Amino acid sequence: MRRCHGSGPERRGPSADGTPAVCPMKGTVVENTRGNAENTGPGRVAGPGGAQLLAGQMAPADGVALWKQLRSAGFRAKAAFLAQASDADSWWQSLGRGAQGTLSEGYWSPGQASPGQLAAIAPTLGQKYAGSPGYATAAVGYAVAEVLTGALAKAGAATPGKLNIAIAQADAPTTAGLIRFNASTHTAVTPYYVTQWQNGKLVQVQPPAPGVTLGVPTAGLG
């Protein structure tokens, strides 16, 4: 596996798993578990080295630059996961077919909403964002509004103290599923998904979604 970091000073020495590691500056693939890490200098990409998986988290502009470097360097990963950079429409807009097969993160799926809730947002949010990363943002935003309006109804007023208590006691079915807040952490746990760019759309591949097959190797780097 190779990891990539968005930025950071150069570092030499063993990695957490004991293999040699070199961390050049922004935009560089830095390590593989076969132990043949390479230092190619700031802004350049280490050679293929036999890595099968590329995983990282980068800002969108840095991620696009890295992807172009990987293609020109002949890096061919079986799977390539790049959080943050690839979870926006700009990823496909910037790379076109070069984005094909990129794995990304997902924090919402239509399956989290009940049929009735999905029907409520389908004519508006669904039509505008279907197949786009923006659908998740819009659907979760709608869920936040559902929690808040429910809490307002329960509190009977927008008084901060009462509203805070009402939100903490939420047991709300939303477009993001049933929302209940943990009394200790003050958070509500929702699912996490692995998604993949396929023909201009970001689709869920893990957990498996009906009618969708994980594409390997990463075609956009091939």
pLDDT digits (tens, 9 = 90+) for 175-209: 999 999 998 999 998 888 999 999 999 899 999 98
pLDDT digits (tens, 9 = 90+) for 35-66: 333 334 444 444 545 568 889 899 999 999 99
Position 18 in a domain: yes
- Give ∠ CA 31-36-41 in degrees, rounded to 5: 60
Q: Please report the pLDDT score of residue 2 as a whole number.
A: 52
Which residue blocks in 43-114 are alpha helix, DSSP H?
60-73, 89-95
Residues 119 and 140 both lie in one domain: yes
Residues 132 and 98 both lie in one domain: no
Task: Quote the CA–CA distance of 67 and 15 in Å, as a whole number.
Answer: 24
Q: Please report the pLDDT score of residue 130 as a whole number.
A: 80
Position 185 in a domain: no
Q: What is the mean pLDDT of residues 138-153?
A: 94
As for how many domains the chain has, the answer is 2
Q: Please report the pLDDT score of residue 109 as a whole number.
A: 87
Residue-number span of the structural domain to which 137 is assigned: 110-180
Residues 93 and 202 both lie in one domain: yes
pLDDT of residue 135 exceeding 50, the answer is yes
Closest CA to 172 of 110, 112, 120, 125: 112
Banded pLDDT at 30 (limits 50, 70, 90): very low
Question: Is the separation of the CB atoms in 198 and 113 below 8 Å?
Answer: no
